[in-house]
Amino acid sequence: MQVSVFGAAGEVTGSCYLITVNGYQILLECGLLQGNEEREERNADPFPFDPKRLDAVILSHAHIDHAGRLPLLVKRGYSGPIWTHQATADLLRIMLEDSASLAESDAAYENRKRHSGQPEKQPLYRKRDVAETLRQVRGLPYDALKEILQGVRLRLHNAGHILGSASVELQGGEPGKVRTLIFSGDLGMRGMPILRDATPPSHADLVMLESTYGDRAHRPRAETLREIEEILRRAREDGGNVLIPAFAVGRTQEVLYWFAQHWEEWELARFRIFLDSPMAIRVLDVYNRHTDMFDREAQNVWASHPHPFRLPNLKLTSDTAQSQEINNMRSGAIIIAGAGMCSGGRIRHHLRQNLGRREAHVIFVGYQAAGTLGRRLVDGAPRVRILGEEIQVNAHIHTVGGLSAHADQTGLLDWYGHLADAPPVLLVHGEDRARVPLAEKLRERFGCRVELAQPEQVIDV
């Protein structure tokens, strides 16, 4: 068994790894690169392998940095199965159709600006490619051992990150010399709302471990919730709007969950709350179909009032006209919109309207990758360019880290500690500032061998 690294090595987007085992080629993840324009242009590069020769694809979860190039893979000739969790299969339709719509609209916008005679820009993929991709998806439950190719078995463990997220266990090799590869996928924090905690595997010959927050401990959740309460109080006093850039899957549902839990003490009835994300609105339906995967507390909240997805003053704005009407509000609105890193979507329009207002507040509740608009705002940029317009940043910018859907350093170490005999580790999906400290802690605490994944690196299992 060999692993070839083709993405998320020293960065947190574009996850992509090729596993060679028993003569088969298996692709683990096929994510979009996100961030600045140069990075995103790399999405159209040829794959460093032949899609037509792949025998299987395995997907840990539905976030676009792990799944976003699947339709391109299919467009370029892959015709085999895509194995993932059943709930991820439901979410993929929403995520990939939205990604294709953005790609098509961005290409159309660029072509309108081009001079006569210039070649037209083509989208990375189209909705028809998504439709073909979805026909190849095969859903599995957690913990079931499935032979996906002769002598190659797959098991998915709950990763506790988003609905349907999984750690991947792949077994293969010669008789008597079977090797087990564990890919953590994105791991959630213990005690996260809605979902059950991750269930770590017990054995591996090599662990591919995410390291997004390998350099830090998240703030205690109770402190984070008090901080949100204080921000909302200040926003009421300042008379401004509150903007929350949020990922459509996971973070949006968690924010609404906390709003339901703290409805009275946060005085949320004094705001008008908008969920301005067609994709997130569709995702609510998927969550409602999979309440059996919730933890006990979330199941109680779903049965109580107010229901997180049906708050009394929550308005779901699907069409463009409804979204544009929100821009007429100068105060008293909480606007939850995508994209979570402000790299696209409706949040950019709301930021353009509100960043210049000293009474406005922006709450970042998720990771902001290098090169994104969200990262520039979090880093304190005094001015930013949005939709071709230079904007002075006068609004209050808040980073609320305790709601992260990723495990922190302690969580990553605890998850690894469930594995017997301290297997070797390959750190992926993390910037160097996060994975270097994590590598030191792993060596110090467990005495294991740790490598930092490098692009095009090949590792024997």
Averages of pLDDT over each 10 residues, the chain, 461 residues: 97 96 97 85 95 98 96 98 97 94 85 80 94 98 97 97 97 91 96 93 98 93 94 96 93 93 94 95 94 91 85 93 93 94 90 97 89 93 94 96 88 98 97 97 98 97 95
Q: What is the pLDDT of residue 142?
A: 97
Give the integer Cα–Cα distance in Å for 96 and 78: 16
- Mind giving me the DSSP string for 362-373? EEE-S---TTSH
* Among the listed residues 201, 210, 198, the one whose alpha carbon sits nearest the alpha carbon of residue 181: 201
Q: Judge if the upstream peptide bond of residue 339 is cis by omega within 30 degrees of 0.
A: yes
Q: What local confidence, expressed as pLDDT, does residue 397 receive?
A: 97
pLDDT computed for residue 187 by the predictor: 97
CA dihedral 435, 439, 441, 442 (to 10 degrees): 130
How much is the pTM? 0.90
298: tokens are 């979330």
Label residues 302-321 b or e (16+ Cβ within 10 Å = b).
Answer: beeebebbebeebebbeeee
DSSP string, 171-189: EESSTT--EEEEE--SPPP
| The predicted structure's pLDDT at residue 109 | 79
Specify the pLDDT at position 114: 80
Residue 76 and residue 359: Cα distance in Å, rounded? 49
Strands (E), 89-202: 137-140, 146-149, 152-158, 166-172, 179-183
Dist. CA 288–CA 303, nearest whole Å? 11
Tokens of 136: 């190849």
pLDDT at 158: 98
pLDDT of residue 178: 95
Residue 141: what residue type?
A: P
Q: Measured between alpha carbons, how far is 291 from 433 in angstroms, rounded to an integer?
A: 37
